[in-house]
Homo-oligomer: A and B are copies of this chain.
């Protein structure tokens, strides 16, 4: 099994999906001969040509709408939006159409499309290239929202997303594109959507995270184990919508403590939803206030201050220590 980084794993999943199913199309700005600005679609155009790998004009709302039309006609478009900061222009089409085409026609027309987009900071990019919009999408009924945290996860989850009969927002942590490395088996096996992944079992506290923050969260857990004998359970949410609450609730019922970690701004971030579900379904198990370690309620700073904004292992660990010390 080759060692692949996350963007290579995405590429592999796209290759597999296209080979398996002739209705899978890839479209987006620069996805053709250029292979995508991050090379996620590298080589696909050479393999499949203009009829399955479509370079598009610069029109995010329009190409989202085109994908809806293609999907309604039985194709499975995989649309790349170059950065999630430009995916806000797609929300109107996604919410008003993609997410409800099945519902509004009682299943007569459906919308099996995947909107892929890089997400999150940490690559010292120019403005609008470091957005974390997952909570906005997770609020939209009829959608699924998926965020992998590793190359193997990206491979399996993307395959599942492409094979899924409903519209999916698939956000890829940009800073893991090249930094994360896994052995990735190209076995065509998808990872079921709608399930959290327990990455580390633990007794003392439940840490919940997704995407780019999973690595830091795990690092915090490891440090806490070594330095403070705190045994943290770490859950990678993976599919934000529909949320597998059960795994989180079960864990909190065992540990009695919850720290949610994300990079998006605090207010109305997806951490709020997790906290709310726990405060509803596992309240009596809670031994300490629920902590959220998140981005701030200001916009992601320009790159020079970016490192101050994003939660890092130490900030996570500090919150965990506070939580565990609470009594």
Compute how far the CA of A103 lies from the CA of B298 in the bound complex, rounded to whole angstroms.
9
* Chain B, Cβ-Cβ closest to A275: B276
Question: Quick check: A299 and B141 within 8 Å, CB to CB?
Answer: yes
Task: Please encode chain A, from 90 to 103, with 1 for each CB lying within 8 Å of some chain B CB and 0 for all others.
Answer: 01100110011001
Task: Write out the residue numbers on chain B whose beta carbons fall within 8 Å of the beta carbon of A273.
Answer: 267-268, 272
* Chain B, Cβ-Cβ closest to A273: B272
Residue A139 at the B interface, CB < 8 A? Answer: yes
Task: Please encode chain A, from 131 to 173, with 1 for each CB lying within 8 Å of some chain B CB and 0 for all others.
Answer: 0000110111110000000000000000000000000000000
Task: Write out the residue numbers on chain B whose beta carbons fall within 8 Å of the beta carbon of A95.
Answer: 88
Task: Write out the residue numbers on chain B whose beta carbons fall within 8 Å of the beta carbon of A139.
Answer: 135-136, 264-265, 267-269
Question: Quick check: B299 and A142 within 8 Å, CB to CB?
Answer: yes
Q: A residues touching B (Cβ–Cβ < 8 Å)?
A: 61, 85, 88-89, 91-92, 95-96, 99-100, 103-104, 127-128, 135-136, 138-142, 241-243, 264-265, 267-273, 275-276, 278-281, 283-284, 286, 288-292, 296-299
Name 14 A/B residue pairs within 8 A (Cβ), A-sorted.
A96-B128, A104-B299, A135-B139, A136-B139, A139-B264, A139-B268, A140-B265, A268-B268, A275-B279, A276-B290, A279-B289, A280-B289, A280-B291, A284-B289
